[in-house]
Amino acid sequence: MQQLRLTTPAGACEIVVGELLSSGLQTLDQEPVLMIDENVLRLYHDIFKPYKSVTVPSGEASKTLQTLGSLYRELVNLEVDRSTLIVGVGGGLATDVAGFVASTILRGTPFGFISSTLLGQVDASIGGKNGVNLDGYKNMIGTIRQPSFVWCDLSLLGTLAHKEYVSGIAEVIKYGIIQDFDFMDYLEEHMEALLNQEISVLEHVVGTSAAIKSDVVQKDEKESDLRKILNFGHTMGHAIERYKHLLHGEAVGLGMVLAARLSYSKGLLSAPEVDRVEKMVLSAGLPAQMKLDPDEIYQNIRKDKKKSGEDVHFVLLKGLGNPIIRPLALKELKSIVHDLC
Ligand SMILES: NC(=O)c1ccc[n+]([C@@H]2O[C@H](COP(=O)([O-])OP(=O)(O)OC[C@H]3O[C@@H](n4cnc5c(N)ncnc54)[C@H](O)[C@@H]3O)[C@@H](O)[C@H]2O)c1
């Protein structure tokens, strides 16, 4: 078992990585109310049934204001008060929604997460961002508020669809590429064991990823600067995800390869380094190449810009382990996307 602490001006969060953590619900000081992903409740009924709960419908299409309305009403019917501990249980979708509901109902109740997907454990449950989509735009409504705990229960991952598991590995690879040479070496040596969910490898990988993300969030919780490096591979990735209907990690894998190639074309990264990024993505079983329509990608990046003005803050690599943020004008981006695709 590994334990770490994330402390920011918005609060402190205890992160625990290990097996069978969900049984710890019995040891909490107060009876929690669960906000639980519908599939996780069905699969782990015996563990979670004893607790009061509301069900979060699975699927990105349910991450809406409309769903929030129903969830608030259900919680009111369960007579939650401002001291009720809300525990979000599930992948990134359930914890994003639960974190937002807990941050806003009755102006905020205490909350924690039990994270049940690899993507959730290494990324979504950590860092305090939560919220829902609006009119198809991702995470437009939300807050930043730290859960008091995140339990990354590795024993829940066994039932996760393989594709979903592999999608989480993309974010793990990202941490190696942007931050940690030793971790990159470790991933290259242990990819097969990771794919087989060997527990010691999984614990090391989730623990290291959680530590890297926590460290970045502690230094820049509000993403004014440093936290942007976590978006490596995501500018292209989000655009590809939207039009190709890929899983998040599949699109981020492609996005990382494209960002590495762009770094090469700007003289920042060597050809062997680009190869290394591509090989890591491929070794996880993620796509590293795909026929892409540059116009679709460009239009999708432009739409995303409704969120953040005229420049795109692109994360490039000035050598592996050294991400830099470069503002690219939308006009320049158009020709770049055409060259890359
Ligand atoms: N807050 C953040 O910082 C942040 C970061 C990255 C992603 N996200 C968000 O996370 C969401 C994606 O998260 P995700 O990839 O975990 O997907 P998800 O939560 O949608 O879960 C994927 C699927 O796996 C099922 N599932 C969950 N746990 C399971 C288990 N243990 N066994 C079997 N099935 C299980 C779910 O029901 C769902 O069908 C997106 O909404 C994204 O915007 C948030």
137-195: per-residue pLDDT in tens?
Answer: 888 899 999 999 999 999 999 999 999 999 999 999 999 999 888 999 999 999 999 99
- Partners of residue 137 on adjacent β-strands: 134
* DSSP E strand stretches across the chain: 2-8, 11-18, 33-37, 52-56, 86-90, 111-115, 129-134, 137-144, 149-153, 311-317, 323-329
> What digits encode the pLDDT tens for the residues 307-339?
566 778 889 999 999 999 998 887 778 788 887
- Of 109, 37, 81, 306, nearest to 100 by C-alpha is 109
CA distance 314 to 322: 14
Instruction: Give CA angle at 70 (243, 147), nearest 5°.
Output: 75
Question: In the predicted model, what is the mean pLDDT of residues 249-258?
Answer: 95
Hey, whose CA ends up nearest to atom 2 of ligand 1? 124
128 close to ligand 1 (CB < 6 Angstrom): no
Q: What was the pLDDT predicted at 306?
A: 53
CA 88/CA 126 separation, integer angstroms: 13
Examine the pLDDT at 66 and tell me if it is beyond 90: yes
Going from the Cα of 93 to the center of ligand 1, the distance in angstroms, rounded, reads 5
Q: How many angstroms separate the alpha carbon of residue 333 from the centre of ligand 1?
A: 30
C-alpha 67, offset from chain centre: 21
Q: Is the CB of 129 under 6 A from ligand 1?
A: yes
Instruction: Express each pLDDT in 261-320 by its tens digit.
Output: 999 999 999 999 999 999 999 999 999 988 888 888 888 887 765 556 677 888 999 999
Euclidean distance between CA atoms 114 and 126, whole angstroms: 11
Question: What integer pLDDT is reported at residue 332 of this predicted model?
Answer: 79
240 burial level (CB within 10 Å; 0-12, 13-18, 19+): buried
3-state secondary structure of 308: coil
The catalytic residue among 45, 107, 291, 306 is 107
Check residue 232 and report its DSSP letter: T
State which of 6-15, 112-121, 130-139, 227-236 shows the largest mean pLDDT. Answer: 112-121
Q: Which amino acid is at 12?
A: A
Considering only CA atoms, which residue is closest to atom 9 of ligand 1? 92
As to burial, measured by CB atoms within 10 angstroms (0-12 exposed, 13-18 middle, 19+ buried), residue 203 is: middle
- Residue 163: predicted pLDDT: 97
Domains and CATH numbers, the chain: 2-159 (3.40.50.1970), 162-340 (1.20.1090.10)
SS3 107: helix
Q: 88-133 pLDDT, tens per residue?
A: 999 999 999 999 999 999 999 999 999 999 999 999 999 999 999 9
In whole angstroms, how far apart are CA 151 and each of 85, 87, 100, 104? 15, 10, 18, 22
Q: Of the residues 21, 34, 36, 39, which should be mutated to test ligand 1's pocket, given the most ligand atoms within 8 Å of the CB? A: 39
**pLDDT over threshold 80, residue 233:** yes
Asked whether 297 and 240 are in contact (CB, 8 A), the reply is yes
CA of 156, closest atom in ligand 1? 31
